[in-house]
Amino acid sequence: MVEKAVNTLPFMKMHGLGNDFVVFDERESGPMVTHALVIAMADRHCGVGYDQLVAVRNHPTEDIELIFWNADGSIAGACGNATRCIAGWELARTGNVVLSIRTERGVLEATDVGHGDIEVNMGQPMTLWNEVPLTHEMDTLELPIEGKPTATGMGNPHCTFFVDDVEAIDLGSFGPTIEHHPLFPQRTNVQIAQITGPNQIRMRVWERGVGITLASGSSSCAVAVAAARKGLVNGPTTLHLDGGEIRINITKNGVLMTGSWAHVFDGQWRGIR
C-alpha cells in the first residue's frame, strides 16, 4: 500500500543547557508559523514539546531576524539561549564567525569564540521602571514585594530573588504567583538565585508562559545584572542552572552571554497548522 503524500513542515529541535526550542527556517518558504501550530507543537505528549518556538526570517539589513513564541502561544521579546543556538547553527552552516541578528530586543551580535561556545551580546540592561516595564514608578533595585527582589529588562521583564538556599524554594508554586504579580503588566520571568562563591551564582528559573525551565539565557543576564547592582559579584560571573553553566560578562558595550548550544534533530511536522 502506498502512503498518500501529506504536506509537511520542516523544523529543527535545539537546546541550550536543556532549555529547548523548535525552530522554523522561513527564509525560503515564507511564513509557516501560526498560533494553532505554536500551541499544537508545544504539547510534549501529542506534539513535539519545547520551551520556545522560533522563526528564522530574512532581514533587509541584518544577517537574520528571529521571532520568538512561548509554549502558551504568547510572543516572547527575547530568548537568549535560542538566539545562541540558532547563531551557532547559522555560523557553522555558513563558516562565518560573526552574525548580526534582528530581534524585538534590537540588533544582537553573536560570535563563535571556539570550543563549541557562542557569545551573544544581549544589549544593555534596562533598569528603569518603565523599561522593565512595571506598572508605576519605583526603585527597581528593591521592589515592594516580600523578599525585595530586583527587576530588570532584557527585552523581556525579569524579577530576581536572592535567597540563602535555592533548593528550599517550591518554584512550582512560587513562580506563577510572581509571574502574574500586579506590578508586572506584561507578566515576568522569575529567578531565585544564591551566591555560592566569588562571582558564582546558583539559580533556578520560572519563565512566563512556560513554567520551570532547565535554563534561560536572558534570565541569566538579568540575575548577573541584579547581582552586580547589589554588589554581590564583581566581574565576569558563572551561573549554575539546572541544565548547566553559562557565563555572563557585563561590559560598557552590553551584557555578553557565552555558552554551549546543541542541534538535536531535524523533523517534519504533519499536524495542525
* Per-residue pLDDT at 1 exceeds 50: no
Q: Is 80 annotated as a binding residue?
A: yes
**Predicted pLDDT at 271:** 87
**Predicted pLDDT at 176:** 98
Q: Is 208 annotated as a binding residue?
A: yes
Mean pLDDT across the stretch 206-233? 97
150-252 CATH fold = Diaminopimelate Epimerase; Chain A, domain 1 (3.10.310)
**19: which strand partners?**
16
Based on the residue annotation, tell me whether 46 is a catalytic residue of this protein: no
Grid cell listed for 56: 528564522
**pLDDT tens, 254-272?**
999 999 999 999 999 998 8
Q: Is 81 annotated as a binding residue?
A: yes
**pLDDT tens, 149-188?**
999 999 999 999 999 999 999 999 999 999 999 999 999 9
Catalytic residue, chosen from 79, 85, 159, 221, is: 79
CATH 1.20.120.80 fits 9-122+260-269, yes or no: no
Grid cell listed for 168: 528550599
Q: Where are the beta strands (DSSP E) in 37-133?
A: 52-57, 64-70, 75-76, 98-103, 106-114, 117-121
**Predicted pLDDT at 7:** 80
Grid cell listed for 134: 512595571
Q: Is 52 annotated as a binding residue?
A: yes
* Per-residue pLDDT at 5 exceeds 50: no
Could you state, in order of their start, the residue ranges of all structural domains in the chain? 9-122+260-269, 150-252
Q: Is 202 annotated as a binding residue?
A: no
**pLDDT tens, 20-61?**
999 999 999 999 999 999 999 999 999 999 999 999 999 999
Average pLDDT taken over every residue of the chain? 96
3-state secondary structure the chain: CCCCCCCCEEEEEEEECCEEEEEEECCCCCCCCCHHHHHHHHCCCCCCCCCEEEEEECCCCCCEEEEEEECCCCEECCCHHHHHHHHHHHHHHHCCCEEEEEECCEEEEEEEEECCEEEEECCCCECCCCCCCCCCCCCCCCCCCCCCCEEEECCCEEEEEECCCHHHCCHHHHHHHHHCCCCCCCCCEEEEEEEEECCEEEEEEEECCCEEECCCHHHHHHHHHHHHHCCCCCCCEEEEECCEEEEEEEECCEEEEEEECEEEEEEEECCCC
Same CATH topology for 9-122+260-269 and 150-252: the answer is yes
By DSSP bridging, strand 262-269 and strand 9-16 are antiparallel
